[in-house]
Structure 1
Amino acid sequence: MQTDRRLQLAELLCAARRDGKQIQDLPPHLVPETEQEAYQVNGMVAELLGWDALGWKIAATTPAMQEKLRRTRPIYGRTYRRHATTSPARFRHGTLLDPLVECEFFVTLGQDLPARDTPWRMEEILGAVRTVHAGIEVAECRFPMEALPPLPAVLADGSASGRYVFGGLIEGWREGLEEIPVVLEVDGVRRRQGRGSDVMGNPLGPVLWLAEARRREGGGLRAGETISTGSATGMFPVQAGQHVRAIFGDLAEVQAAFETGAP
């Protein structure tokens, strides 16, 4: 994919993010040819926007999501601090782009994980983590769900990164996240459920995976960045007027309301 085509796609994605609109008909020649090119475009989007970074999102971290996307490994994308908020959150549904609610562990780093020659070990990831919060990602895509382009274009869009709602702090996370049950309630009714072990066996597994992916690409992760580690409850297409609550055992919860009304 030539540089000018990568730039053209990056500019389209920047405009879509700034305007809160979707790209209805992406020209086929702008679809990145490889995942590497797609992630390069996502980096260009971040540079062109100039927005403060929140961190990263990871998706396809459960067998069900990988099967849905026909993949054997996760995907990731850049996230932005302007799209982070705290629970209880309120959104105007009409301003969102095909929103999907995902219940996730939000991991914030206290130390850098820079590029280096040797692979990262889980012990080092544990030492770099500062906090873990209960979280909801409201995933959005700059392409319409009913007419998604090939996956590399979605990767260029940050793997459909959207809004991030921080819930309660999960104390004692070093004792293990695997056995924590995660439940999604919608208007008081249980609609999805999972547990920490559904996310690559351990919600910190995706952080190790991302550190390795960034290391191989010559990048890294920075202290203060938050990584949303992938949904433990799948994707829920939220509707206007609904209220959602994600419950992480008896440790923490996070809530968000999706109000009706025009943008």
Structure 2
Amino acid sequence: MSTRDETVNTTGEAAGATPDQVASAAQRLEEAHRTGVPCAPVRDLLPPGDLDAAYAVQSVLTERRRARGRRVTGWKIGLTSVAVQRQLGVGTPDFGALLDDTAVPDGAEIPWGSVLQPRAEAEVALVLEHDLLHERHTVADVIRATAFALPAIEVVGSRIRDWDISAVDTIADNASSGAYVLGTRPVPLRDLDLRTAGMVLERRGEPVSTGAGVACLGNPLHAAVWLADTLVRLGRPLRAGDTVLTGALGPMTAARPGDVFEARVDGLGSVRAAFGRAAQEAHDAQEGDVR
């Protein structure tokens, strides 16, 4: 991932972006998504380091997808690694919306090209049974509100060429959300210690990433508390039925055509993400079958 240092506004005191600036950034990202051709960063279209402007772009793009019939199924948390936060010059995580058309069944094929520049990372997903409406939440609040946990693979992707991103770029780009795969064996939190839960992510049977719950803000539940508080402040709290991807348990890994990833998380079991072959590879294989 290529990153660029910049001074980031986290106080909300900057002049802010104009509607035209927000619209221009949204259009650039939407065109990249539509054409499958990554675009230039959008940070040059917005006030330097203005995270509020970046979230405004994200909101515009999410609302456009909802207007086309998509449904928000939950939220993803990004930048849960302190090292990555330092890379991007921020002191907090970020978030993006999960939509129904980005949910992929366990082991089902993700068509190559449907996620631009895809990378896979293993996470803990929480599925909520109750709303989280307090101004400030505790870990106990999150535990009480959670119906169960699942292992997850998030396929992050960037509409921005060569992953040349700043914090403004990734937030505007829906926190670099691409697709997500959930395991199918729900586990109640009372049976888990998420802080110490170990993770191994394999590609075609070879380990490519390892980690544990402690890598995600010290505990995936801490990340969920941050998200719950943040969304209440923004007037769109977490609701019963929401899925929350709490953040990566280890380093992300670039995906290639035909790759199959399997993530195993202690106490949660496993989940698989499979990528289709590139168009030329599929054509060559079909020609070989004919011959």
TM-score normalised over the length of structure 1 = 0.89
Asked whether 1:128 is paired with 2:145, we answer yes
Larger Rg: 2
Asked whether 1:254 is paired with 2:271, we answer yes
Per the alignment, residue 216 of structure 1 pairs with 233
Per the alignment, residue 76 of structure 1 pairs with 95
Asked whether 1:94 is paired with 2:110, we answer no
Describe the shift of the 1:149–1:253 C-alpha distance in structure 2 as closer, same or farther (beyond 3 A). closer
- Counterpart residue type for residue 194 of structure 1: G
Please give the alpha-carbon distance, in whole angstroms, between the structure 2 residues aligned to 1:70 and 1:78. 22
TM-score normalised over the length of structure 2 = 0.81
Please give the alpha-carbon distance, in whole angstroms, between the structure 2 residues aligned to 1:38 and 1:174. 37
Cα shift at 1:75: 1.1
Q: How does 1:100-179 map to 2 (within 5 A)?
A: 100-114=119-133, 118-146=135-163, 148-175=164-191, 176-179=193-196
Describe the shift of the 1:20–1:246 C-alpha distance in structure 2 as closer, same or farther (beyond 3 A). same
Q: How does 1:59-70 map to 2 (within 5 A)?
A: 59-70=78-89
Q: Compute the RMSD of aligned alpha carbons.
A: 2.2
Q: Given that residues 6 and 32 in structure 1 are in contact (C-alpha distance below 8 angstroms), is that contact kept between their aligned partners in structure 2? A: no
Q: Given that residues 31 and 153 in structure 1 are in contact (C-alpha distance below 8 angstroms), is that contact kept between their aligned partners in structure 2? A: no
**Aligned counterpart for 1:44 among listed residues 60, 72, 75:** 60
Please give the alpha-carbon distance, in whole angstroms, between the structure 1 residues aligned to 2:34 and 2:147. 31
Asked whether 1:17 is paired with 2:33, we answer yes
- Counterpart residue type for residue 159 of structure 1: A
Q: Given that residues 128 and 240 in structure 2 are in contact (C-alpha distance below 8 angstroms), is that contact kept between their aligned partners in structure 1? A: yes
Per the alignment, residue 233 of structure 1 pairs with 250
Please give the alpha-carbon distance, in whole angstroms, between the structure 1 residues aligned to 2:41 and 2:51. 21
Q: Deviations over 1:46-102 (max 9, x none)?
A: 112212112111111123333333432211111211110221121233333110101
Structure ranking higher on relative contact order (CA contacts 8 Å, 6+ apart): 1
Please give the alpha-carbon distance, in whole angstroms, between the structure 1 residues aligned to 2:41 and 2:159. 11
Identity %: 30
Describe the shift of the 1:6–1:189 C-alpha distance in structure 2 as closer, same or farther (beyond 3 A). same
Aligned residue-pair number: 260
Describe the shift of the 1:217–1:94 C-alpha distance in structure 2 as closer, same or farther (beyond 3 A). closer
Q: Given that residues 260 and 274 in structure 2 are in contact (C-alpha distance below 8 angstroms), is that contact kept between their aligned partners in structure 1? A: yes
Asked whether 1:56 is paired with 2:75, we answer yes
Q: Given that residues 31 and 150 in structure 1 are in contact (C-alpha distance below 8 angstroms), is that contact kept between their aligned partners in structure 2? A: no
